[in-house]
Structure 1
Amino acid sequence: MDVIELLESASLLVPEETATVNDLTVRDVWDHLVHDEWEIALSLLEGLGDARPLPPVFWEKLAEAADRLRLERSAAWCHWRCSELRHGVIRADLTLRSGHGVRRTTPLPGAGVLRPMWDIGHVSPSGGRAVSIAALWVEGLPVLEPGGRATIRLVPLTPSHWTDVQPGRRITMHEDRSVAGTAVVLQVRPPDITVSPG
């Protein structure tokens, strides 16, 4: 499939009544496809995917189109959304620590490449702290500076570890034994049980 076929195919998976917060619809996507404005069409489809849950195949087609257009962050975002469907997602407000005694002195990458450890309140069999791993995506920013604050999305490596996490819970991020940041959970969406965990 070429880019336009991928975008057309993805757009057919969006129910016609779906609209973004700006009232953009699938009809708007088709207008851009007719004029070979593929990047705009891709961006609109990503927005429509945020308006309502869509199947993994939708995100897979967008990821392939973004790869072919050499839009790395967009492709990473579409792959990320597939992971959210398969493993669940936790949105949280993260504040990174800065200053003396903090391991991270460089910006935290925002596009889902970091998989830090999280203290979400579990205790190990020996009575010590148990941590769980989750990939991290920073919403709206390419990086998060030390001392910075942003809304993040977490995809748990082992979703069953995160079943007790609820909005309002404070969790801590670790890249080593020290606390790298503190987050307050805003939203929890479990894995989509109709999607295989591929």
Structure 2
Amino acid sequence: MDVPKLLEAASLLVPEEIATENDITVNDVWEYLTRDEWEVALGLLEELGDVGPLPLSFWETLAAAAEQMRLDESAAWCHWRCYETCNGTIRADLTLRPATEARRQTPICGAGVLRPMWNVGNRTRTGEPALNIAKLWVEFAPVLEPGGQASVRLAPLNPSQWQHLQPGQVITMHEDQSVAGTAVVLEVHRPTATSTV
């Protein structure tokens, strides 16, 4: 399917009553589609996807469109949202330790590349803390500097190990045995889909 058809297909999956905080609706998307402004239409659809849960096929279709337009960051974001649709969403407020106090001396890439370990309260059979792996997406910033703070999204390697998390819970990020950062859980949402709709 070509880009316009993919964007049209995704648009049809958005209920007409959904609107962003800026009153953007699917009708706005259609205006840009009629003008062949596909990148703008894609961006608006991504925004509409943040308003309410949409089917997995919405995010899969947007990812395919972004890939065809060679918009790597948008494609990565749409694939991330596919994961969240199937496995749930975890958002947290993360503060990294300063470079003077931690192993990390360089910024973290914000686009879901890093897969640190996390202490989310699980224990081994002997009672030691068990660390669980989750990819990290920094919201609203391309990178997170050592000592910096940002809202992040987590994509656990094994989501079942994270089901007990609650808003307000404190978890720690590790890149080795030491603590690299501390996060306060902001939101936990269960999966909205388990297969393509």
- Scaled by the length of structure 2, what TM-score is found? 0.96
Provide the rounded CA distance (Å) in 2 between the counterparts of 1:105 and 1:182: 16
Question: What is the CA-CA distance between 1:187 and the residue it aligns to?
Answer: 0.4
User: Which residue type is aligned with residue 194 of structure 2?
Assistant: V
Tell me, in whole angstroms, the C-alpha distance in 2 between the residues paired with 1:97 and 1:89: 24
The Cα offsets for residues 146-170 of structure 1, whole Å up to 9 and x where unpaired, read as: 0000000011111111121100000
Matched with 1:93 is 93
Distance 2:117 2:195 in 1: 25
Cα distance in 2 for partners of 1:34, 1:99 equals: 50
Name the structure 2 match of 1:196: 195
> In the alignment, is the contact (CA less than 8 A) between 1:138 and 1:152 conserved in 2?
yes
State the alpha-carbon separation in 1 of the partners of residues 145 and 194 from structure 2: 35
Displacement, 1:191?
2.0
Equivalent position of 1:182 in the other structure = 182
Deviation at 1:143, TM superposition (A): 0.7
Percent pairwise identity? 64
The CA distance in 1 between the partners of 2:60 and 2:3, in whole Å, is: 12
**Count of aligned pairs between the two proteins:** 196
Q: State how far apart, in whole Å, the 2-side matches of 1:62 and 1:163 are.
A: 28
CA distance in 1, matches of 2:145, 2:15: 39
Tell me, in whole angstroms, the C-alpha distance in 2 between the residues paired with 1:160 and 1:195: 14
AA aligned opposite 1:135: K
Q: Does residue 23 of the first structure (1) align with residue 17 of the second (2)?
A: no
Task: Tell me the CA shift for residue 90 of structure 1.
Answer: 0.9
Structure 1 runs of 4+ aligned residues shifted over 3 Å read none
Residues of 2 paired with 1:23 and 1:100: CA distance?
Answer: 45
> What is the DSSP-based 3-state SS (H/G/I as helix, E as strand, rest coil) of the residue aligned with 1:186?
strand
- Matches of 1:38 and 1:163, distance apart in 2: 38
Report how far residue 101 of structure 1 moved: 4.5
- Preserved contact between residue 56 and residue 195 of structure 2 (Cα < 8 Å): no
Structure 2: distance between partners of 1:26 and 1:196: 24
Alignment of 1:57 with 2:57, yes or no, is yes
> What is the distance in 2 between the residues matched to 1:9 and 1:196?
18
Give the alignment's Cα RMSD to 1 decimal. Answer: 1.2
**SS of 2:57's equivalent?**
helix
